[in-house]
């Protein structure tokens, strides 16, 4: 499986680290905003080609699939371009920053029959897989999820502390993780409410947000998000169920009493990004629909679009 990666920033390198561990995968091309960065990352990971233009990778006959870790605003158009060039594509979360663009990507995937997967990593983290397996076995049912997604990002920088060329968004990016996960664990979302705080005068986005969700099963979710949090960073999930309480922190899982649960045997790795990439490669090889295909996650973007309309009132 010959891969091109577009967007060689902090998250792009996480994918490249995961791809190195998958048998039969060759990293062929690295696309980045500057030629210097693209060449440096290509040298680090043994890619034969680098460029600043995605079209250069799409024109290559030795590229089977593309992973997009580019700015959010490019995701939909680039995913469509990849499939138009006959390439399978995994687009990092979020799929798009509008409901219309999300529908357009789904339409293109159906037209071409190519694999189109979205990077909803929470479906692959061993911690959340453990809970999902309990639900599937009928041993646990979600009654409530309480989720906190907190960052300190009052300036436009990435996870490496480097200046970003684009602006991140609490709703379309960070809320997407939890909106999709809640539906995945508790059933389709039938009601959603949201409030947002003041708009940042320079970034032009809300720095604080609160979201409530109701699933068809009757389960509820409360999600708090902030770019203003000067403290521990990341996302913390509390699953309150009918038989247990679980606390999930990325790939780790704890009981409600902070006792760590061994999830090392849940899958072949403890790295959610690697597992996500393994699913992408496996789905292409097997000719099947992957978990977190554009079709399977599309309803998340319907909900986000509905929430955005509430902010416009």
CATH number at residue 200: 3.30.360.10
pLDDT tens digits along 144-192: 999 999 999 888 776 667 777 778 899 999 999 999 999 999 999 999 9
Residue 171 lies in a domain: yes
Q: Which residues contact 205 (CB under 8 A, 6 or more apart)?
A: 167, 168, 169, 170, 199, 227
pTM > 0.85: yes or no? yes
Same domain, 43 and 140: no
> How does strand 26-31 pair with strand 208-215?
unpaired
Domain that holds residue 157: 125-266
Nearest-angstrom CA–CA distance, 92 and 94: 6
Using 50 as the pLDDT threshold, list the residues of the chain that sit under it. none
CA 154 to chain centre: 22
Same domain, 62 and 187: no
Same domain, 196 and 78: no
> How does strand 234-241 pair with strand 142-150?
antiparallel
Same domain, 110 and 226: no
How many structural domains are present in the chain? 2
2-6, strands of its sheet edge to edge: 49-51, 26-31, 2-6, 65-68, 88-92, 116-119
Residue 312 lies in a domain: no
The residue written with tokens 């995994």 in the block is: 90
Considering only CA atoms, which of 214, 221, 217 is closest in space to residue 235? 221
Same domain, 108 and 155: no
Give, in degrees to the nearest 5, the angle at Cα 155 between 170 and 97.
30
Calculate the alpha carbon distances from 301 to 57, 81, 101, 158 in Å. 28, 20, 10, 24
Same domain, 245 and 139: yes
**Other CB atoms within 10 A of residue 109 CB:** 22
Same domain, 89 and 163: no
Residue 307 lies in a domain: no
**Other CB atoms within 10 A of residue 162 CB:** 10
Residue 303 lies in a domain: no
Same domain, 113 and 205: no
Residue 297 lies in a domain: no
Cβ distance 11 to 70 under 8 Å? Answer: no
Return the DSSP state at 205.
Answer: S
Same domain, 223 and 158: yes
The residue written with tokens 């309803």 in the block is: 299
Report the pLDDT value the prediction gives residue 159, as an integer from 0 to 100: 65
């Amino acid at each position: 499986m010959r891969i091109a990666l577009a967007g060689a920033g902090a998250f792009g390198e996480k994918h490249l680290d995961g791809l190195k561990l998958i048998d039969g995968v060759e990293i062929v091309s690295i696309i980045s905003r500057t030629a210097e960065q693209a060449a440096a990352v290509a040298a680090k990971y043994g890619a034969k080609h680098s460029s600043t233009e995605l079209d250069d990778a799409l024109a290559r006959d030795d590229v089977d699939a593309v992973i997009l870790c580019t700015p959010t605003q490019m995701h939909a158009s680039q995913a469509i371009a990849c499939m138009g060039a006959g390439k399978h594509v995994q687009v990092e979360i979020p799929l798009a920053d509008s409901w219309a663009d999300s529908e357009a990507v789904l339409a293109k995937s159906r037209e071409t029959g190519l694999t189109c997967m979205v990077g909803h990593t929470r479906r692959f983290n061993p911690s959340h897989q453990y809970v999902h397996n309990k639900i599937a076995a009928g041993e646990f049912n979600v009654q409530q999820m309480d989720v906190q997604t907190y960052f300190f990002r009052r300036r436009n920088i990435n996870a490496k502390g480097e200046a970003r060329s684009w602006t991140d968004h609490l709703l379309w990016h960070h809320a997407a993780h939890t909106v999709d996960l809640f539906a995945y664990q508790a059933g389709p979302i039938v009601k959603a409410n949201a409030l947002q705080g003041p708009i940042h005068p320079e970034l032009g986005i809300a720095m604080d947000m609160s979201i409530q969700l109701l699933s068809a099963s009757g389960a509820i979710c409360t999600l708090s998000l902030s770019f203003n949090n000067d403290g521990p960073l990341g996302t913390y999930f509390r699953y309150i169920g009918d038989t247990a309480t679980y606390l999930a922190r990325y790939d780790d899982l704890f009981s409600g009493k902070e006792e760590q649960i061994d999830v090392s045997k849940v899958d072949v790795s403890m790295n959610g990004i690697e597992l996500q990439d393994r699913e992408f490669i496996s789905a292409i090889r097997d000719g099947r629909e992957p978990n977190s295909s554009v079709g399977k996650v599309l309803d998340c973007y319907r909900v986000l679009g509905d929430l955005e309309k509430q902010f416009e009132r």
